[in-house]
Amino acid sequence: MVEHEYVLGGTQLRLTADGGGVEKAWNQPVLDTHHGGLVLVDGFLYGSTFESTTKGSWACVEWDTGKLMYDADWNGNKGSLVYADGMLYCYEEETGNLALVRATPEKFDIVSSFTITQGSGKHWAHPSIADGVLYIRHGEVLMAFDIKGT
């Protein structure tokens, strides 16, 4: 029987010097993402956390050390995110709020937000960005937002 060490949160593994194995570099229990993924920007990981199937927060962790920079509540919900041009586009899964957030390790700094009102069901699709257009799918509806600077 093989025994495994199960660790909650986010864990960074690094190759050993000889390249023949891995070792745990750090574990950050807060960064326990549910479905929203993470983005790495300028040495910091950004993502949402998992407290329960309906509750979470938004966190930033230093990539090199695993140090928690912030754990911020935004409507009590978690979600998915994407990054472009210094900004995080955070898409909250329960009510469909979409926030434009400065990608800074100091705080969860919302610049603006609005609610996705088209479509139906949970807001579980991940946002994507291509050629200056932010794509959001909700149920059977696909929305496109021009986010290019003028």
- pLDDT tens digits for 55-68? 889 999 999 999 99
Q: Report whether pLDDT(1) > 70.
A: no
* pLDDT band per the 50, 70, 90 thresholds, residue 79: very high
| Model pLDDT for residues 129-146, shown as the tens digit of each residue | 999 999 999 999 999 999
The pLDDT of residue 34 is 80
- pLDDT of residue 30 exceeding 60: yes
Top pLDDT among 118 and 4 is at: 118
The domains of the chain are located at 33-146
Which long-range contacts (C-beta less than 8 Å, at least 24 apart) are formed by 130-139? 134/82, 134/84, 134/89, 136/91, 136/98, 138/96
**Which class does domain 33-146 fall in?**
mainly beta
Q: Which residues contact 129 (CB under 8 A, 6 or more apart)?
A: 82, 84, 89, 135, 147
pLDDT at 2 over 50: no
